[in-house]
Amino acid sequence: MAAPAPASSFATRLAAAVDRRGGAACVGLDPVLEKVPHRNGGDPVAAIEAFSLRVVEAVAGLVPAVKLQMACFERYGSRGVAAAERVLGAAGEAELLTIADAKRGDIGVSAAHYAAAFTAGPLAADAVTVSPYLGFDTLVPFREAAAAAGTGVFVLVRTSNPGGDDLQSLRTPGGGVAEVVAAGIERMNGGLQAGEAYGPVGAVVGATRPAVAEALRVRMPRSILLVPGIGAQGGDPAALSALFDARGHGALLTASRSVIYAEDPAEGARRLVAAAAQAADRG
Ligand SMILES: O=C(O)c1cc(=O)[nH]c(=O)n1[C@@H]1O[C@H](COP(=O)(O)O)[C@@H](O)[C@H]1O
């Protein structure tokens, strides 16, 4: 028997959340012990968890989504992962959509297990980030798990870091590497459900190269773009208008350090939402 269809897709829930909060902004939870103000008696996991929960509380009701940087939790082993589970749970309860920024990428059965980890069970999130460099077949388990669960997958296409050029801009007979990845993602979103503008397979496109991001938008009309690189990395939200559709959907601007370490993270979140709303308005 076929699995029951999910109640609603990630794209639908994200669009509703963006409309509710007024802008397509995501706060990145990247807690780094040396930067968190309270050390919880020297227990690093307790400190980063408490900090993350405070940020979740501060930004709930203001932004549509949060993105948990799994590395910041996994480095502490099982206790860190347990903390990530609790932070994801708290964010979900606060009606924030959650993105597990895990950047996974592996073959066959390993990919299926990674996909299961982030769509069901204690680490389940509304979306997960993945790397495409082992080939498109490795993305299929993520797409299938996401389509079945009503969640999303964000594939790295053009990253925001300076070294993103090293591989992603290499030329191939089929175009630049990022364009080849974009074409593969576009194929994977084929067959949208009725009334849906975007499929379950989204793309990570850095804000630090707005013209490149714009060109990639055109190549992936059915992908939600997750856009890091504003704030601490210097990207300008005003340069990203073309990534949004006429309804202000289709892209999600994400920033971590500039919000969570702001004197008032709630104010940082409000500013981020306003910047995203302004960018989308001009789109
Ligand atoms: O996948 C990501 O989220 C990501 C992709 C990318 O191209 N660049 C990028 O910065 N990120 C992540 O986005 C966050 C950026 O943090 P800030 O620079 O502090 O806003 C970090 O968690 C990065 O790992």
CATH of the domain at 233: 3.20.20.70
CA 72 to centroid of ligand 1, rounded, Å: 12
Mean pLDDT of all residues belonging to the chain: 95
Q: Is the CB of residue 154 less than 8 Å from the CB of residue 128?
A: yes
Q: Is residue 266 part of a domain?
A: yes
What are the residue ranges of helices labelled H in 22-107? 44-59, 70-74, 77-93
Ligand 1 centre and the CA of 256: distance in Å? 7
CA distance 249 to 55: 25
166-190 per-position pLDDT tens digit: 999 999 998 999 999 999 999 999 8
Within a domain: 1 = no
User: 129 in ligand 1 pocket by Cβ < 6 Å?
Assistant: yes
| Residue at 142 is within a domain | yes
Q: Return the structure tokens found at 159.
A: 């990253």
Q: How many residues does the chain have?
A: 283
Q: Residue 233, exposed/middle/buried by CB under 10 A (0-12, 13-18, 19+)?
A: middle
Tokens standing for 255?
Answer: 């920033």
- The closest alpha carbon to 249, from 212, 213, 217, belongs to 217
Question: Residue 1's pLDDT is what?
Answer: 46
Residues 6+ apart with CB under 8 A from 95: 17, 60, 61
User: Is any ligand 1 atom within 6 A of the Cβ of residue 159?
Assistant: yes
138 lines ligand 1 (CB under 6 A): no
- Cα 2 to its chain centre, rounded Å, is 29
Burial grade of 105 (CB within 10 A; 0-12, 13-18, 19 or more):
buried
In a domain, 228, yes or no: yes
Q: Is residue 4 included in any domain, yes or no? A: no
- Positions annotated as catalytic residues are 103
Q: Considering the entire predicted model, what is its pTM?
A: 0.96
- Is 3 inside any structural domain? no
Which tokens sit at 169? 């801009």
**Residue 210 counted as domain residue:** yes
Whole domain around residue 224: which residue ranges?
A: 10-281
Tally of domains within the chain: 1
**161 part of a folded domain:** yes
Question: For every one of its 283 residues, what pLDDT tens digit does the chain have, with 9 covering 90 and above?
Answer: 445 556 699 999 999 999 999 999 999 999 999 999 887 778 999 999 999 999 999 999 999 999 999 999 999 999 999 999 999 999 999 999 999 999 999 999 999 999 999 999 999 999 999 999 999 999 999 999 999 999 999 999 999 999 999 999 999 998 999 999 999 999 999 878 788 899 999 999 999 999 999 999 999 999 999 999 999 999 999 999 999 999 999 999 999 999 999 999 999 999 999 999 999 996 5
Tell me phi and psi for residue 193, to 5 degrees.
-70, 155
Q: How far apart are CA 155 and CA 105, in angstroms?
A: 10
